[in-house]
Amino acid sequence: MAVRILLTGVSGQVGDALLPRLQPMGKVVAPLRSELDLSDAEAVRRFVREVAPRWIVNPGAYTAVDKAENEPDLAYAINRDAVRVMGEEAAAIGAAVISFSTDYVFPGDGVQPWVETDATGPLGVYGASKLAGEQALAASGAAHIVFRTSWVYGATGNNFLKTILRFAREKEEMKIVADQHGAPTWSEDLAQLTIHTMKRMEEAASGRALPDAVREVGGVYHACDAGETTWFGFASEFVRLAQLKEPEQRFARLLPIPSSEYSTPAKRPLNSRLSCEKLRLKLGFTMPNWEASVAQVMQRLG
């Protein structure tokens, strides 16, 4: 019988990248929001029971960082409660869970890359709700892995890269924040990491239960593309590549500004650097350099 995989968030950046990569691995059940509302914990429970998956892969999340400040109940329902229920049900049936979290669990002080054991301290509701999800999953008793990532973008969906490119074609000048440091992470790189991890766990599980293999390496991993930059550096790089592709097109001049000049309802961490050393050592995966990934996305954008 084919392995059943429950994938949430299939209309999102990471879910969209995961779907075609998961399909060769088993029977993928990937409900849209209209088929499974993640803010309804009991519906999540029923759905998991019905599907009885071997794997739950959960990129589904409430990701509206600023809106979350005014919708904490909804953010917690999706980012904590749904994850808790997935964990409880996975623990009950011997499934394994891969979920995703964020650099926004950290307060953003200092300049060193955060390691997994560093104290957290989210600055806003979104980060706090994602941290609560990590903790709820750990407490559920499920065999699980959480990938904390940063600044996710892709060739599909709405994201920073596509928004800036659109405006850069229309405007003379654009001000971009230049004092938040981190790594843009391509959704395809996260999908590759996820598949690598699942295959590695399946190999490690041969002859024994999957949760036992996952528990040996389970927990939180930092997983962002390699290298670091700022939002200004990220935007400058892909506008540069766009200009190379379209020499005739006029793109906006980018101006670096401090976060203090760009006020948002939710405060962002200034230091979002994540050390991915644990990922390399324990899961044997090195994330690609962010510039190499941006170059690939720019090619795909046609």
Q: Which stretch binds ligand NAP (CB under 6 A): 3-11, 86-94, 203-211, 252-260?
A: 3-11
Q: Is residue 15 a contact point for ligand NAP (CB under 6 A)? A: yes
Q: 168 near 252, Cβ under 8 Å?
A: yes
Among 11, 156, 243, 296, binds ligand NAP (CB under 6 A): 11
Cross-sheet strand order for the sheet of 55-58: 27-29, 4-7, 55-58, 96-102, 143-149, 219-222
Q: Could you count the other beta carbons within 10 Å of the beta carbon of residue 71?
A: 16
Supply angle C-alpha 196, 197, 200, rounded to 5. Answer: 85
Q: Are 185 and 225 contacting, i.e. CB atoms less than 8 angstroms apart?
A: yes
Q: Does 12 bind ligand NAP (CB under 6 A)?
A: yes
Q: Which of 62, 76, 104, 126 is catalytic?
A: 126
69 binds ligand NAP (CB under 6 A): no
d(CA 55, CA 144): 10
> Of 5-13, 88-96, 164-172, 259-267, which segment contacts ligand NAP by CB under 6 A?
5-13
In this structure, what token pair is assigned to residue 235?
Answer: 């935007």
C-alpha–C-alpha distance, residues 167 and 163, integer Å: 6
Q: Pick the closest to residue 251 from 161, 155, 164 (CA basis).
A: 164
Q: Which of 29, 38, 176, 241 touches ligand NAP (CB under 6 A)?
A: 38
Q: Give the residue with the Cβ less far from ligand NAP, 8 or 205.
A: 8
Residue 9 is a binding residue for ligand NAP (CB under 6 A) = yes
Q: How far is the CB of 166 from ligand NAP (least distance, A)?
A: 17
Per CB under 6 A, the list member of 39, 156, 243, 296 interacting with ligand NAP is 39
What angle is formed at CA 86 by the lines to CA 82 and CA 89, rounded to 5 degrees? 135
- CA 217, 186, 274, 127 dihedral sign is negative
Region from 8-16, 43-51, 86-94, 135-143 binding ligand NAP, contact rule CB under 6 A: 8-16
H/E element, 72: helix 72-76
- Where do the H-state alpha helices sit in 219-286? 231-245, 277-283
Residue closer to ligand NAP (CB basis): 39 or 236:
39
- How far apart are the C-alpha atoms of 202 and 98, rounded to whole Å? 13
Q: Which of 80, 130, 144, 268 binds ligand NAP (CB under 6 A)?
A: 130
Rounded distance between C-alpha atoms, residue 301 and residue 297, angstroms? 6
Contact flag: residue 47 with ligand NAP (CB under 6 A) = no
Question: Which of 76, 98, 102, 113 lies at the binding interface for ligand NAP (CB under 6 A)?
Answer: 102
Q: Is 126 a catalytic residue?
A: yes
Indicate whether 73 belongs to the interface with ligand NAP (CB under 6 A).
no
- Closest contact distance (angstroms) between CB of 247 and ligand NAP is 31
**Is there binding between residue 37 and ligand NAP (CB under 6 A)?**
yes
Question: Using the rule CB under 6 A, is 13 a contact of ligand NAP?
Answer: yes
- The residue from 62, 106, 114, 238 that contacts ligand NAP (CB under 6 A) is 62
User: What residues numbered 151-170 form the site for ligand NAP, per CB under 6 A?
Assistant: 151-152, 157
Q: Supply the residues annotated as catalytic.
A: 126
Q: Which residues bind ligand NAP (CB under 6 A)?
A: 9-15, 33, 36-39, 59-63, 78, 100, 102, 130, 149-152, 157
